[in-house]
């Protein structure tokens, strides 16, 4: 079992609070899958406005958490950490579905698998669940580029 704590995750992702949405990697297999968690607490900045009387994690942030988990898997698969000139661009999402609300106190269990990697484009099948219930799923695409390169796709 290969795991990463938050300090190791920060070596691979440029995101920082409040947009670092992966708390721990539980396990990963190079070129195949990764399992990670996001602990959702009432202290999250987005709950101040979404929604104060019934806090719900925004769907776009659940997708972002899955995208960050996907980027981790890509870097781990390549066996390299990004340098300060690298950026991962989110290219698209297909078949996104939201199945249940995610609220404070939930633990978002994220599972991502590589579907394809070709010509610098990565495609992942991603899903997240809470207590065994599917919360969100979709197919994500991303690419990695130098900050100096303003064109994200080939």
List the catalytic residues: 50
Q: Is 25 left (phi over 0), alpha (psi -120 to 50) or beta?
A: beta
d(CA 146, CA 25): 26
Provide the H-helix boundaries in the chain.
6-12, 59-78
Q: Hey, how many other C-beta atoms are within 10 angstroms of the C-beta on 102?
A: 24
Specify whether the backbone of 63 is left (phi greater than 0), alpha (psi in -120 to 50) or beta: alpha
Distance in angstroms (rounded) separating the CA atoms of residues 112 and 133: 16
């Amino acid at each position: 079992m290969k795991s990463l704590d938050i300090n190791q995750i920060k070596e691979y992702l440029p995101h920082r609070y409040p947009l670092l949405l992966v708390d721990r990697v539980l396990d990963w297999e190079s070129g195949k899958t990764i399992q990670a968690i996001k602990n959702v607490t009432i202290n999250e900045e987005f709950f101040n406005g979404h929604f104060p009387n019934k806090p719900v994690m925004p769907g776009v942030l659940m997708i972002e958490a899955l995208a960050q988990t996907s980027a981790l898997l890509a870097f781990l698969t390549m066996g390299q950490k990004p340098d300060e000139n690298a950026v991962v661009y989110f290219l698209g999402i297909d078949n996104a579905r939201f199945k249940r609300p995610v609220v404070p106190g939930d633990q978002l269990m994220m599972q991502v698998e590589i579907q394809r990697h070709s010509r610098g484009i990565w495609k992942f099948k991603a899903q997240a669940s809470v207590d065994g219930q599917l919360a969100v799923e979709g197919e994500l695409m991303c690419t990695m580029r130098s900050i100096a390169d303003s064109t994200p796709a080939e």
